[in-house]
Each structure stands twice: as C-alpha cells, then as structure tokens.
Copies of this chain bind each other. A is one copy, B any other.
C-alpha cells in the first residue's frame, strides 16, 4: 500500500459472511458473484430481517428524476448521504446526474474512492482531519469538489489550512433563514463573510450560492427564501466576487424540488448560471413524508405530471412473525436496528407464507404499534390467519435512516430473485 495510493477497489468490495440479511455464506464473496447463488427471497434463501431493493422500481425512479431535471435544463447531484451506496451513485450518474451531493468528508472519501469525480458537499467543512481528508482528494486533478461556507471563522479556517497545503478549495455561500439550520441570516453576516472570502481568495474560491429550503414547511415562505437567495447571488455577481462561470446555484431536498426548479429556472441573470438540484430520497422513495410531498408535486407541477411512471417505493424490509402470544398481537423480528422509526413506524405491505404461492397485500388493519431494538409489536385481529414463520414485507418511512442500518441490501427482480447486491459505507 503506497502512502499516496489506496487499496485496490476489490479490497473494499468483498461481502463479509457476517452481514445480516444474507443467506449462509462460507466466506467472503465478491458482489459480482451474488446473482450466481440463485437466491430467492420467497424460498427463504435470505436471513430475515432483510432490507431489499426492487430493481424495476429503482429504474422507474431514476427515469423520472432524469426527465424532470432535463425538462428544466438543470443539473442533478442526488444527495448520496441517503444511501451511501457507491453502486447506486453510479446508477444515478449513468442516469445523467452531474455529480453526487454528500454531507461529510468521510462520505466524500467513500464516493471518490469508488470513482465519483464531482462532489458537492452540501455542508461546512470543519476540523483539521476533515480538511486533510478533502485535501488528499484535491491532489487528484480529475476531482471536482465544492463545500459550503457561512461564517468568517469558517472561511478563515479553510483559508489558513488550504493556503498551507498550497491548494484551493471551491465553496458555495450558504444562505439561511432565522430559526433554520446553517447559512448566513442577514446583510451584515453576508458582507463579513464576503470580505473574508476576498481576503482568502487565493485558497478559497467562491463558486456560487446554496440554500436548503427543507428547513421551511410553507410554500410561500420557501418561494420567498428562494427569491432572496437569487437576489443575493445576483448582487455578488454584479460585484464580480464569483470565481466560477457559470455561477453555481444549488438547492432542493426531496420534498420541494419542484418549487426550487420553478423559481431557479425563472431567474434572470446577466451571467451564465448552472442550477444543481440535490434530492436524495427519490431513488427509493417512501410511503411517508415523501409520498405526501410527491402527491403535492404531481398536483402542482405540470412537468412532473407529464412524466410517465413516476416515483415508486423501491425498498422493503422483510421480517418474520416470531410469536403470536396473545389475541391481536404479533411479535415481529424487526427492530429499531432494522428500519427508520423517526418519521413513523414501518407499515406492513405484503404477507407471505413460505411454500404458499405469492405474497399478498397485507390487510389494512395490520399496523406496528411499537418498536424495540430488535422487535416490533404488530396489531392484528384475533381471527387473522397469521402464523409464526410468516414473512411480512414492510414499507418504510424515511429512507436515509433505513439505509444506514444495513451494510448490504440485496436487489430483487420482479420474481423476488436476488440479481444484485448494494453495499453501503456509513
């Protein structure tokens, strides 16, 4: 291992037999070999609980977002923190994404190590070791990187570090709202950050403006925030403080990407601009907040509505009924370790009894009422046909906090055959 190189990709890709959600393996396995095993979820070839991705639905979601962004002439940098799965990053790039958005230096390293060559780190870069990790990648001339700044201290720390390394780091100025997350709040902050950027211009290059509208929940407020950000960007352009042409403008989580697209595409600039949207959850979608958001988008945005297919829930977590200890209650081998629980508990979608035909829709009245570390309580009717050993496929709410509970996720075709596997690097 050279001090200037990294382990070959293969060293990082072997699938350990110790992962949950796999069948019994007798040793490490290269991901390419997974399809050859002939595993099928319905034949109980996987150890449950198990999170799975549905190949056809992923493809539908990739197609939808590619068409949406293309219709607006924008760029897509899907937020990779959702999945932290380089294989999915590459599917997104092959489906036309301009780059990958990430949240930390380590996440950026994961993407870069797997061949991603353009990263928007939609976050402040803080701390000596985090800067060192980024600096290491900046020595790769093919690597394009952007991070955010919103404070004089932040700019000075970046400037000081990267000056010493003889490197220049690209930044976007983050605009924020009172009561929100990061981002400059007012004119005085803005001016002081711009002055700091001017002082450190040789090592910190201002390339554009960024916001995260998802801290707000009211459409008129969001539109007003977007307009203020555009005004700020125009002012900075007029003062010739940007070091990039076209000027980068970036916004959009997974809930309001239509509104950002509408406002940003309508913006008039005398300089060339490049608009980058950053939704992450569209790839697997969910049956909670993002389903609701998508319904609003389809109702309001004619471009989204014109695209056939659309967003489909492409992830399930499957688990066994392990006990039906009293009338009306089943205990499921599915815990807080296995699925997100912060935006609502997983919802039973499919019911399958091994050796018994095909999965059927779970009855509407089945519902999780509580999750513990490794168990869930499912409310059923006393006369439901439910046995120990039955398999339940759960829709999940909040993809980000489901992916981070799995190191591997088998990818299934329409017949529940394992055709691929996705590895995560959280």
Contacts and interface: CB of A to CB of B under 8 A. Distances in A.
Interface of A: 1-7, 11-12, 16-21, 23-24, 26-28, 44-48, 81, 103-107, 109-110, 113, 123-124, 126-130, 132-133, 136, 150-151, 153-154, 157, 176, 178-185, 189, 320-326, 331, 333, 336-337, 341-342, 354, 372-375, 377, 387-389, 391, 400-401, 404-405, 407, 425-426
A323 B182 contact: yes
B20 A7 contact: no
Contacts of A110: 18
A49 to B, nearest CB: 8
Contacts of A400: 337, 373
Contact of A129 (B27, B48, B124): B48
B185 A124 contact: no
Contact of A20 (B3, B27, B104): B104
Contacts of A373: 81, 103, 400-401
A163 to B, nearest CB: 16
Contacts of A181: 323, 325, 331, 372, 375, 377
Given A150-B323, A407-B426, A47 B127 contact: yes
B3 A12 contact: no
Contacts of A103: 373-374
Contact of A426 (B81, B153, B184, B405): B405
A354 B389 contact: no
B109 A18 contact: yes
B48 A27 contact: no
A184 B325 contact: yes
A325 B150 contact: yes
A404 B339 CA distance: 12
Of A16, A23, A154, A182, most buried by chain B (CB within 10 Å of CB) is A182
